Structures are given as structure tokens and as C-alpha cells.
């Protein structure tokens, strides 16, 4: 899709949203984001110009001012803070690149920032974050000791809705760069949005939870997003079974991972 097409779509969405509100929509406050043409990298569309290519599908595609498999977390975070690849940048208070140790045993991937995360610039700090911390602690993990926590998108979607495909695609180079920089031994996907976007799959948590998947040589387990468990606590028992599968996997990788 060209940047002109994206500008047209953005204007149509803004007009429709203004009509619903009866005044200028807060979802489209500020100036129009700086859209870019999509280009093909290894058969996949990636938003960006030929001078701003980034990591895609785990492969390093370096360009002037872009990212590569050698990018550091500080460099990645700087690029995230400057990002205007999609409309989510228009209403953010803070970008939420991620949080945790720089050499994690486990990377936890969630969906996107909520209201509290947008305020603080940190992932999983609201009620869902408190539950996530308890889930991780139950299997010997924490963001202070052996985890890094990130999201599919780094800016809050309006009203905490799921990220749109184009928003997730625009943010994907950052996630791939984070995985390359962090080099986690295992990944825990929290919810359908995370696993669907990580694998570009239609299959979500209902089908994939508790299974050991593979992402470029890194084992991946999926379970329910903490916010989904708060809404439907009857799934907590199944989520605990998923976490036990993940713990067994981690022990097979390193018996003292939680020390």
C-alpha cells in the first residue's frame, strides 16, 4: 500500500469518527502521522522507505537509520520513541518499548499498552500486569531477574482495542529487533494477539495454548492474556497447566534458570 492510499484511509476514518462524536474525534487528535510506502522484504510487506528497512521475520535487513540484528536495546528504544509508522502515534502519551533485564531467559510478549501503561511508559503495570507478575512468579520468573516484557504494538490502541493488522505490521520490525538483541532462550505469548502476530497465523490461544511452538529456533508457549483471565477467571486452571508446560520446558533448557 502506498503512503497516499494510507493518507486517504486515515482521512476517511477521521471523518467517520468525527461524525460519530459530533465533534473532532479524540481518537484522531493532532497532525496526521507520517505514512510510508510498504515494500517487500523476503516476500512480506514491511512499512518503510528503502532507507529505513528493519528486521523482518527474524532476518537482518539493515539500512540507513534503520535496525539490524546488531541493534542495541537503547538504539531500538530510540527508534520506537521516534516512530510515526501508524496512526497510534497520534494519541499516545508515552511509547512503551518494554521492560526487564537485558539478557533475559524468557521474553514475554503481550498485546499492547493500556491506559496505565500509556501513562507510565512501562508494560503490564495495571491490574493485568499485577496478575502477570503473579503468574511469572509461580514458575520462577520475574521482570527484575530473568524476563523481558514487550508487546506487539508499542503505543496504546484507542479504548484498549486490539491492534489492527496494519498497526501490528508497522510495529513488527521493532519486535524482531528486540528478539535479535535480547536473544531469549524461550518466549511466552500472552494471548491470541501475541501468538497470531508473532507467527502471522490465524490460530489463537484457544487452539495453541500449552503447545511448544518454534520461532526461528526459539521455543514458544502460549497462554491466556492476564486481562482475559480477569474477565473469565474460569480459564485460570487451564492457564496454570500451560505455565507448568512452560516451566518444564525452561527446566529442560537450564535446571537453574530461576536461581
pTM (2 decimals)?
0.76
Q: What is the pLDDT of residue 71?
A: 87
CB environment 131-150: b (16+ within 10 A), e (fewer):
bbbebbeebbbebebbbbbb
CB environment 44-68: b (16+ within 10 A), e (fewer):
eebbbeeebbbbbbeebbeeeebbb
Q: Grid coordinates standing for 244?
A: 507448568
Enter the DSSP assignment of 59.
B
Question: Shortest CA distance to 194 belongs to which of 255, 161, 151, 256?
Answer: 151
- Ordered by where they begin, the domains of the chain are 95-253 (3.40.470.10)
Q: What is the pLDDT of residue 54?
A: 31
User: Given 3-state DSSP classes, what are the helix, strand and coil percentages for the chain, each rounded to the nearest 5?
Assistant: 45, 15, 40
Q: What is the pLDDT of residue 5?
A: 60
Q: What is the pLDDT of residue 13?
A: 65
Which tens digit of pLDDT belongs to each residue from 150-164? 999 999 999 999 999
Backbone conformation region of residue 187, classed left if phi is above 0, alpha if psi is from -120 to 50, else beta: beta
Measured CA to CA, the distance from residue 124 to residue 100 in angstroms comes to: 11
Q: What is the pLDDT of residue 44?
A: 40
Measured CA to CA, the distance from residue 216 to residue 168 in angstroms comes to: 19
CB 208 within 8 A of CB 177: no
Question: Shortest CA distance to 146 belongs to which of 100, 183, 187?
Answer: 100
Degrees (nearest 5) of the Cα angle 128, 132, 133? 120
Residues of the chain scoring pLDDT < 70: 1-32, 34-65
CB 156 within 8 A of CB 115: yes
Q: What is the pLDDT of residue 207?
A: 97
Measured CA to CA, the distance from residue 222 to residue 237 in angstroms comes to: 14
Mapped onto helix, strand or coil, the DSSP state of residue 120 is helix
Amino acid at each position: 500500500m502506498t503512503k497516499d492510499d494510507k493518507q486517504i484511509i486515515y482521512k476517511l476514518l477521521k471523518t467517520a469518527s468525527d461524525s460519530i462524536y459530533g465533534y473532532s474525534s479524540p481518537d484522531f487528535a493532532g497532525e496526521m502521522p507520517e505514512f510510508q510506502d510498504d515494500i517487500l522484504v523476503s516476500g512480506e510487506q514491511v512499512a518503510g522507505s528503502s532507507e529505513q528497512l528493519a528486521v523482518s521475520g527474524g532476518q537482518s535487513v539493515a539500512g540507513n537509520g534503520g535496525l539490524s540484528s546488531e541493534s542495541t536495546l537503547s538504539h531500538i528504544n530510540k527508534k520506537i520513541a521516534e516512530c510515526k509508522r501508524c496512526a497510534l502515534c497520534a494519541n499516545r502519551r508515552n511509547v512503551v518499548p518494554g521492560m526487564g533485564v537485558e539478557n533475559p531467559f524468557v521474553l514475554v510478549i503481550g498485546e499492547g499498552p493500556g491506559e496505565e501503561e500509556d501513562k507510565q511508559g512501562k508494560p503490564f503495570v495495571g491490574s493485568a500486569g499485577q496478575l502477570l507478575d503473579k503468574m511469572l512468579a509461580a514458575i520462577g520468573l520475574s521482570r527484575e531477574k530473568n524476563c523481558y516484557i514487550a508487546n506487539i504494538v508499542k503505543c496504546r490502541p484507542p479504548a484498549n482495542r486490539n491492534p489492527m493488522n496494519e498497526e501490528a505490521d508497522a510495529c513488527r520490525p521493532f519486535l524482531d529487533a528486540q528478539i535479535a538483541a535480547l536473544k531469549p532462550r524461550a518466549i511466552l505469548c500472552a494471548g491470541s494477539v501475541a501468538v497470531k502476530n508473532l507467527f502471522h497465523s490465524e490460530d489463537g490461544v484457544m487452539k495453541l495454548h500449552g503447545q511448544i511452538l518454534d520461532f526461528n529456533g526459539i521455543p514458544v508457549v502460549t497462554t491466556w492474556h492476564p486481562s482475559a483471565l480477569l474477565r473469565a477467571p474460569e480459564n485460570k486452571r487451564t492457564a496454570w497447566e500451560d505455565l507448568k508446560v512452560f516451566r518444564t520446558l525452561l527446566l529442560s533448557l537450564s535446571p537453574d534458570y530461576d536461581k
